[in-house]
Amino acid sequence: MSINRRNFIRTSAISAGAATLLSGLSGCSTPVDKSTKASPLDDLKSMTAAVVPISIEERKSRIEKAQRLMTDNKIDAIFLDGGTSMEYFTGIRWGNSERMMSAIIPAKGEVKYVSPHFEEARVRELMTIGNDVRVWEEDESPYKVVAKIFSDFGIRTGKIGMEERVRFFLFDGIRKEVANVEYVSADPVTATCRMIKSPAELALMQKANDVTIEAYKVAVAMLTEGMSQGDFSRNTSEAHKRLGAPGGGAGASFGAPSAFPHGSIEPQKLQKGDIVLMDGGCQIGGYASDISRTVVFGEPTKRQQEIWDLEKKAQAAGFAAAKLGDPCENVDIAARKVITDAGFGPGYKVPGLAHRTGHGIGMDGHEWGNMVLGNKQPLVAGMCFSIEPTISIYGEFGIRLEDCAYMTEEGVKWFSQPSPSIDQPFA
């Protein structure tokens, strides 16, 4: 969920923070005086110089797979609005407006694009797949252009798959213009393709996770009494930026508001004894990380220690339940059982685990493949997902440990190593 392994002791500046952190974070109570002391941010360097982007050849293979799936599902073409799926298949990242800019992938043939005429040059500048751009003027209907493409593909009856993020007004305009076909969900094509990650995708996700863990190490070392949530967010954003992931960052909840899985609107100032629940991530090469860590600023109470240990046990149970061929729901069932057996819940009741145990992840922070009761989707190699069984206790605190995992032919593996203990958040 999102709110908005490397050596912990990486530099002398971070080592100082790490040493205090491992003694219960009590040494972090003195704010960093930037005029006399180095900031833990100062020694950070980019970790992304050797990142290898997704190749054109891989995108072409994605389209070939999509076309096989279209044939299997008797879908004649799929329509993509600007968004993640368009970028996944074509490499074009396009911000949506009221003007149609779309891609149409046929079961047989080449990708074709629909663009405002005045945007054609920019579309061609971004294109690496296909070369056919059909344009429309401001006083013309883009839906007639789509109809002509369907006709050119020989689609007069049959099925058109609409990608799940297609905006309604575009779908409505197309179906009014082309009423003789059946419009169906493109999920059997798009979701099936995107849910299974290639080695290149896994490498980008691994780097994103590595960067976020390094940023968190710095952010924890910079915890100071009296700091605000905004201070924490600025520190994590700056750390991600210096590590080569601008736009990354994390939010945090201090004390009782940590019981709210996505935080509280109430302003918070960090105090001794507070739970600190951080949640966030970044993107590298278009692929996301999503990690949560929970620590105590100062010495943990017996209650905090017990609930943190229970959370760790639940997360480990979820990981152990992720087995090739078994349904996604088993991860949720196993993690939730640990929490309910301890007297919480039952089910989604609070105090306890109020949400699913995990979600799919890839180009988007949340994708298909939820770890939730009822999801019978079998776990197969290439699937990526979070394991994050929050324990929420309203009026006290919340504990969440979130790490993402992926399936291989040998079984499940972590992208980020889970926290060893409440006073050692990084492996």
Helices (H) and strands (E) in the chain, counts: 11, 18
Q: What CATH code is carried by the domain that includes residue 94?
A: 3.40.350.10
**Tens digit of each residue's pLDDT (9 = 90 or more) over 380-405:** 999 999 999 999 999 999 999 999 99
In this structure, the answer to whether residues 377 and 236 fall within a common structural domain is: yes
Q: What is the pLDDT of residue 38?
A: 82
Q: Note whether residue 285 is domain-resident.
A: yes
Strands 287-288 and 132-136: unpaired
| CATH number of the domain enclosing 311 | 3.90.230.10
- The alpha carbon of residue 231 and the mean position of all alpha carbons in its chain are separated, in whole angstroms, by 23
Do 351 and 240 reside in the same domain of the chain? yes
The type of residue at 249 is G
Same-domain check for residues 236 and 301 = yes
Residues 190, 205, single domain; the answer is: no
Q: Are 238 and 193 within 8 A, CB to CB?
A: no
Whole-number pLDDT of residue 59: 98
Is residue 93 domain-shared with residue 130, that is, in the same domain?
yes
Q: Which residues contact 252 (CB under 8 A, 6 or more apart)?
A: 3, 229, 232, 233, 276, 277, 278, 279
Report the DSSP pairing between strands 132-136 and 112-116: parallel
409, 410, 407, 427: which is closest to 419 by C-alpha?
Answer: 427
Do the Cβ atoms of 332 and 373 come closer than 8 Å?
Answer: yes
Instruction: Please tell me whether residues 166 and 269 are part of one structural domain.
Output: no
pLDDT at position 5 is 28
Pairing of strands 367-371, 77-81: unpaired
Question: Which stretches of the chain drop beneath a pLDDT of 50?
Answer: 1-35
Q: In this predicted structure, what is the pLDDT of residue 201?
A: 98
pLDDT of residue 37: 65
**Do 286 and 403 belong together in one domain?**
yes
φ/ψ of 294, rounded to 5, equals -125, 125
Same domain, 71 and 19: no
Helix axes 199-221, 12-21, angle to 10 degrees: 70
Whole-number pLDDT of residue 4: 34
CB atoms within 10 A of CB 289: 30
Q: Examine the domain organization and report whether 247 and 167 are in the same domain.
A: no
pLDDT digits 0-9 by tens, 186-245: 999 999 999 999 999 999 999 999 999 999 999 999 999 999 999 999 999 999 999 999
Secondary structure class of 349 (helix, strand, coil): coil
Sorted by sequence, the CB contacts under 8 Å of residue 206 that are 6+ apart come out as 415
Examine residue 4 and state whether it is found in any structural domain, yes or no.
no
Structural domain total, the chain: 2
User: Is residue 425 domain-resident?
Assistant: no
Local structure of residue 364 (DSSP, 8 states): S
Looking at residue 14, what is its pLDDT? Answer: 34
Q: Is the C-alpha dihedral spanning 304, 306, 312, 317 positive or negative?
A: negative
Domain that holds residue 312: 12-43+197-414
Q: What is the pLDDT of residue 36?
A: 52
Q: Which of 195, 216, 245 is the last residue of a domain?
A: 195
